[in-house]
């Protein structure tokens, strides 16, 4: 099936309104509990990505998506440059077919091109094994704090334990600092 997908890395400013609408439609299907966020052209619920990895179907439907934004996070008091990675989704009809793995292979190439020391993502504990099989490393017991926005636009501080993962890009895993992760803003 992945041979039927046209992969593209897109800078945020190059996306058109129909692109945003197609992304939002797929994200709403992939995250049904959050589908109220992804309406019209609203295709992100936190920090707007700067780059997106998108897998398009022949009919113009988005089949896979991931957003990345470079930012500094504070880990144990030390600032660390990361490629914050989020909005990771594969169309429900293609989950389990290898498309997600292909999405993450392409993502690593984008992170390498951005020359960041690490990719960083927060995920649910049930998805940690998938990312680990794709080269990401769970930060055991890590606690992360970030600003989240409600559907009404009100900012709230969220703290989550577990599910924080890094992908060494130009940095080494053993150089990742110990301590709480402070995103000092929103997640992608």
For residue 85, is it within any domain? yes
147 located within any domain: yes
Predicted confidence (pLDDT) per residue in 74-90, tens digit: 999 999 999 999 999 99
Residue 118 is part of which domain span?
2-182
pLDDT of residue 149: 64
For the chain, how many structural domains are there in total?
1
The answer to whether position 188 is within a domain reads: no
- Which CATH number covers residue 79? 3.40.630.30
Residue at 187 is within a domain:
no
In a domain, 82, yes or no: yes
pTM of model > 0.85? yes
What is residue 99's three-state secondary structure?
helix
The DSSP letter of residue 38 is S
């Amino acid at each position: 099936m992945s041979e039927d997908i046209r992969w593209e890395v897109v800078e945020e400013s190059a996306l058109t309104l129909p692109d945003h609408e197609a992304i939002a439609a797929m994200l709403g299907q992939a995250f049904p509990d959050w589908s109220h966020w992804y309406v019209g052209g609203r295709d992100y619920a936190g920090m707007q990505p700067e780059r997106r990895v998108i897998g398009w179907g022949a009919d113009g439907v988005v089949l896979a998506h991931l957003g990345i934004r470079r930012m500094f996070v504070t880990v144990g008091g030390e600032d660390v440059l990361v490629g914050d990675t989020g909005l990771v989704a594969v169309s429900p009809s293609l989950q389990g077919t290898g498309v997600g793995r292909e999405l993450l292979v392409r993502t690593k190439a984008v992170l390498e091109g951005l020359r960041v020391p690490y990719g960083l993502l927060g995920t649910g504990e049930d998805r940690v094994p998938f990312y680990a099989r794709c080269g990401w490393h769970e930060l055991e017991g890590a606690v992360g704090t970030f600003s989240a926005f409600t559907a009404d636009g009100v900012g709230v501080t969220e703290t989550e334990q577990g599910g924080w993962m890094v992908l060494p890009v130009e940095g080494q895993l053993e150089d990742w600092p110990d301590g709480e992760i402070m995103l000092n803003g929103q997640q992608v």
